[in-house]
Structure 1
Amino acid sequence: MADSTSLSSPSRLGGMFRALRSYNYRLFFAGQGISLIGTWMQQLAMSWLVYRLTDSVLLLGLVNFCSQMPSFLLGPVAGVISDRFNRHRVLLLTQALSMLQAGTLAALVLTDHVNIPFIMFLSVFIGVVNAFDVAARQSFVVELVEHRDDMSNAIALNSSMFNAARLVGPSVAGLVIAAVGEGICFLINALSYLAVIASLLAMQLQPVKRPLVQTRVLESLREGFSYAFGFAPIRSIILLIAMLSLFGMPFSVLMPVFARDVLGGGANTLGFIMGASGVGALTGALYLASRKSVLGLGRLIVGSAVLFGVGLILFSFTRTLPLAMLCILLAGLGMMLQMASCNTILQTIVDEDKRGRVMSFYAMAFMGMAPFGSLLAGWVAEHIGVTYTLLGCGVLCALSVLPFALQLPALRKMVRPIYERLGILPEIATGLRSATQLTTPPEQD
């Protein structure tokens, strides 16, 4: 009879799924996978509901602004909380509150009591919850992986899970909205949180000893800020993410407008477009999961950011659904390769005692800048149209990577000592193995 270790061996799971050797990570992966399908269903249903009620691109951007702005304002505080408190308990609380928000939204829509003020209030509420959830979740994943060598694979698998849900969720939501309306999508999302809460409760976690912190919250914030923005590689990655989120992420806010007014479709058309974007992003995430090392991710970040921009530029010119799906697939591929590569490098080079704060700055750049972009894109689209707005977003995304590309050689030199210490560089790792073999006496029969 096979034991548990043989069932979870790398040979059985394969290199692409090696992080699933860890029991707690398997639970997290399964629970989050189910919950994220519901999350993507709610996101598409929310966009369609707002545009159906208002016919306003500006209000569509404003609702998105309300849901993401708290990440910008509360991100640093959320990072301090993540470093000081039990991340497992923080996640249990945030998931329960997210379920409450989705359930309330479902009740309002199904009883026909929903209106824009209610939607904005609930959007702000989930934004506050997400600010704390993202900082804790990004840091918590590292605690779930038993083998440090599997960390980059775990991050890539997280991205794969996120984008597999992004593929399934909008496609299903489009069909559900067309059949029974948006309310059922919100109800399904509320029920999906039971899966992730159950997975968190089933985990077998070792107590994490956190050092006794004497500093005040403001001092911890200052320390985290100085660490993140005082080290050029971390600073450059965070700034690049901020620029791409500001100029690139608003494309998803404009999708309902593009689907209905440019392509002349309905909720199904929107679901197909978002699903195609998810296919591209999932492809990128699976490619990253197949990689054995973080080496070479710097060049990949530059190329994928350009691909993201070019994909949006081509998408803005499309007028047929198949061509639109192909172009948005390329944009989704570039977006995922860039975002997940940046996340992997940050998680690799950051000090453990500052991980929560650095990842909160990552979330602040990724989610916190997007609301400004959404609001700006909505305002611009009202004046010059969605086509030219998407074209401008694509051009700005392609140009925003230039500063990072020019600094890349210098950034590599700064990161090299960290990679040497971790044994990531091939020649260093080989040298360590050789030294171990030379100093270890042979076993006696």
Structure 2
Amino acid sequence: MNSLPTNSVIREGTYLQLFRKSKHFTALLLGQFFSLLGSSITNVILPIVVLQISNSTAVMGTVMAVYMAPFVILLPFSGVLVDRMNKVKIMFFVDIVRFILMIILSIFAFMNQLNMMFLFVFMFFMGMMDSFFQPAYSGVRAKIFTPDIRNAANSLSQVTVQVLRIFGPIIGGVIISAVSGGWGFGINAATYIISLFFLFNLRTLNFQKPLGDSNQKSTIKQDFMEGIEVLKGHPWLWMTILAFSFINIFSNGIVQIILPWLIKNYYQFEPYVYGLVLGSSGAGAIFCGIIFGLRPDWKKRGLLAYGGVLLSGIALVLLAFISSIPLLMACMFLEGAGIMLFGLIWETSLQELVPEDKFGRVVSLDMLGSFALLPVGYLITGWMAEGIGEILTLIIFSSVIIFISGMYMMIKGIRQFN
């Protein structure tokens, strides 16, 4: 590999051939695009609506805890069921239910009838749907992203997500500033319908199913334990899930709860600034994703992954000491790049190490380990922010992220993961 033409062929193969070789990749990418466009709009509008109703970070933390609760309850079972059922049909059903929920939310918003009890119920059911959608979606990705296109497919897929993280928040900020949140919720509902059209094109996918005996209860237990055995066989997997059971508490608490307060209450910027700041995180992720996808392979992936987490923690702690919009955007650019680097390496390693017929339950265990403490974490974030102050909470949380990532980079198993 010592000539420019060779690298050029690799780059053409990693990007252009994605669409030539796999119609399923195209359908999944477009379905993901429209679905996430609506979700990214809602993700900006909803925190602002909650703060307008309650003016409390503690209540915002409770909202996020309610959303995550179904993950903790259902993930031990949803992964097993996803492996036993058609993953595309699960995604199709979930999108229909989410469309109905978003329509109801939009109607209540237009009627000016939103209250915290309604939002708690809404977020609980959205979390329930997502606890089935995410393992199914990950399984479909693993099936479609074959080894010959895996690096580029993961890269382009995640770059698309981050493009939406730029434009979705900006659109959401403009909508909530210019008209009302109901319009944003209605747009989100429409995007689920568009996504269903593309999901229909994935109906021909065939998935391996786990083998089991005729006793349904014992089979579910056996399948669950098989997923645990897969994780135990790869230290990189279980050690990283353990680390992110804590890292996710602090990073999500900052981004989902403290950052909206920082923009709206502390600096008293207009809502569109929140969109710009979140969009900058997406821009950093896009930059990192494009660079990652230009090479078919990366060495020292353990160090690269946790180096990205370390960069993210440093960027978050800097938010406590600056008040300039461009500098806030620059910090979030670095945060997005760091998290994107980790995410791409993690997703690729899962697809490489986990067998197809066990992928759903392993992903559900990954999500369970990574997200199980999030409901408690959101509550702690909200109440801690009101107790000792949002800025001090921000500094403590980001410092913990820096400490954990730095500590993991010194572990031999992480340093040598390749």
Normalising by structure 2, report the TM-score.
0.91
Say whether residues 1:263 and 2:267 are aligned partners. yes
Say whether residues 1:236 and 2:239 are aligned partners. yes
Relative to structure 1, the CA distance from residue 408 to residue 165 in structure 2 (aligned partners, 3 Å threshold; closer, same or farther) is farther
Alignment correspondent of 1:64: 64
- Of stretches 104-113 and 239-248 in structure 1, the one that deviates more from structure 2 is 239-248
1:410 Cα deviation after fit: 6.9
Task: State how 1:1-400 maps to structure 2 within 5 Å.
Answer: 15-16=14-15, 18-20=17-19, 21-145=21-145, 147-203=146-202, 205-214=204-213, 215-253=218-256, 254-400=258-404
What percent identity do the matched residue pairs reach? Answer: 25
Distance in 2 (alpha carbons) for counterparts of 1:11 and 1:308: 30
1:185 Cα deviation after fit: 0.6
Kindly report the root-mean-square deviation, in angstroms, between the aligned alpha carbons of the 2 structures. Answer: 2.0
Distance in 2 (alpha carbons) for counterparts of 1:327 and 1:279: 11
Distance in 2 (alpha carbons) for counterparts of 1:265 and 1:135: 37
Unaligned runs of 5+ in 2: 1-8
8 Å contact kept, 2:230–2:354: no
* Aligned amino acid, residue 54 of structure 2: T
1:204 Cα deviation after fit: 5.9
8 Å contact kept, 2:106–2:186: yes
Distance in 2 (alpha carbons) for counterparts of 1:39 and 1:17: 28
Distance in 2 (alpha carbons) for counterparts of 1:393 and 1:358: 28
Q: Deviations over 1:236-261 (max 9, x none)?
A: 12122222211212122222211112
Alignment correspondent of 1:404: 408
1:14 Cα deviation after fit: 5.2
1:296 Cα deviation after fit: 2.6
Relative to structure 1, the CA distance from residue 209 to residue 358 in structure 2 (aligned partners, 3 Å threshold; closer, same or farther) is closer
* Aligned amino acid, residue 227 of structure 1: V
Distance in 2 (alpha carbons) for counterparts of 1:58 and 1:228: 35
1:314 Cα deviation after fit: 0.8
1:409 Cα deviation after fit: 4.2
1:328 Cα deviation after fit: 1.5
1:54 Cα deviation after fit: 0.5
Alignment correspondent of 1:441: none
Alignment correspondent of 2:4: none
1:17 Cα deviation after fit: 5.1
1:211 Cα deviation after fit: 4.4
Q: Deviations over 1:56-107 (max 9, x none)?
A: 0000111011112222222221111121111111111111111111111111
Unaligned runs of 5+ in 1: 1-9, 417-445
SS at match of 1:132: helix
Distance in 1 (alpha carbons) for counterparts of 2:90 and 2:131: 11
1:411 Cα deviation after fit: 7.2
SS at match of 2:202: coil
- Of stretches 370-379 and 130-139 in structure 1, the one that deviates more from structure 2 is 370-379
SS at match of 1:249: helix
8 Å contact kept, 2:58–2:383: yes
1:352 Cα deviation after fit: 2.3
1:342 Cα deviation after fit: 1.6
8 Å contact kept, 1:18–1:153: no
8 Å contact kept, 1:280–1:332: yes
Q: Select the structure of larger CA radius of gyration.
A: 1
Normalising by structure 1, report the TM-score.
0.86
